[in-house]
């Protein structure tokens, strides 16, 4: 499989880009990697890159976007931060990927059993982690069930995963509120912005 070129990137639609990722995750789940020569892709991309998607994901070591979507060099922009939320710098990076570099798809990828989300649920306060987790707290507060405070912590896996899903949704909302560039591109059909959850137990990705 060859690296994307300016020509192949230009022919892609947001829907086709999404289909690429879905098929890539199916290959990953079935342990069937696409036939690609990474060193050849190094050579193919030495004069430029033309990724078709930007993926915002957590730093979790189990959730490498390139691996779980079976993508090669030059295929995707990967933005990673604990808790997969957005701030000004991350939005600028995503805007660059879409507006300047031509990517057609933005994916906010959360995952099950997220440590950052668990920390936010437990009100962990350690150094700069405190400020980071405060970005995830709105998702914790937005999940209303269970009401019993003794069940609203990291010991309740179902609660943690529901907060992770809500965090993906809120991140997408914040993108649209805080980035006129991305919002305009989405409204014009130039890009698509979607949420997804990776299951650390079986390697599957569910798109929203």
Provide the CATH number for the domain around residue 88: 3.40.1050.10
Domain that holds residue 199: 6-118+168-207
* pLDDT per residue as tens digits for the range 142-195: 999 999 999 999 999 999 999 999 999 999 999 999 999 999 999 999 999 999
Whether residue 135 is contained in a domain is answered as: no
Kindly report the pTM of this predicted structure: 0.92
Distance (Å, whole) CA 73 – CA 100: 19
The answer to whether 121 is a known ligand-binding residue is no
Whether residue 145 is contained in a domain is answered as: no
The answer to whether 60 is a known ligand-binding residue is yes
Whether residue 138 is contained in a domain is answered as: no
Contacts of range 18-23, beta carbons closer than 8 Å, 24 or more positions apart: 18/105, 18/192, 18/194, 18/207, 20/52, 20/53, 20/69, 21/53, 21/69, 21/71, 21/105, 21/107, 21/205, 22/205, 22/207
Going by pLDDT thresholds of 50, 70 and 90, the confidence category of residue 141 is: very high
The answer to whether 111 is a known ligand-binding residue is yes
Structural domain total, the chain: 1
Going by pLDDT thresholds of 50, 70 and 90, the confidence category of residue 43 is: confident
Whether residue 159 is contained in a domain is answered as: no
Whether residue 147 is contained in a domain is answered as: no
What confidence score (pLDDT) does residue 44 get?
74
Whether residue 30 is contained in a domain is answered as: yes
Going by pLDDT thresholds of 50, 70 and 90, the confidence category of residue 74 is: confident
Whether residue 133 is contained in a domain is answered as: no
Whether residue 44 is contained in a domain is answered as: yes
């Amino acid at each position: 499989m060859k690296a994307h070129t300016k020509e192949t990137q230009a022919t892609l639609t947001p829907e086709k880009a999404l289909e690429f990722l879905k098929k890539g995750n199916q290959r990953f789940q079935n342990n069937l990697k696409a036939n690609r020569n990474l060193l050849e892709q190094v050579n193919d991309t030495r004069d430029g890159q033309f990724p078709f998607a930007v993926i915002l994901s957590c730093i979790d070591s189990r959730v490498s976007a390139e691996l779980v979507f079976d993508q090669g060099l030059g295929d995707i922009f990967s933005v990673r931060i604990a808790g997969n939320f957005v701030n000004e710098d991350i939005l600028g990076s995503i805007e660059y990927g879409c507006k300047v570099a031509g990517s057609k798809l933005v994916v906010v990828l959360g995952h099950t059993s997220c440590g950052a989300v668990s920390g936010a649920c437990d009100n962990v306060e350690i150094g700069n982690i405190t400020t980071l987790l405060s970005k995830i707290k709105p998702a914790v507060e937005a999940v209303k069930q269970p009401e019993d405070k003794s069940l609203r912590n990291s010991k309740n896996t179902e609660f943690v995963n529901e907060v992770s899903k809500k965090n993906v949704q809120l991140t997408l909302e914040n993108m649209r509120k805080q980035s006129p560039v991305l919002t305009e591109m989405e409204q014009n059909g130039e890009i698509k912005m979607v949420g997804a959850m990776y299951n650390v137990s079986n390697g599957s990705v569910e798109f929203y």
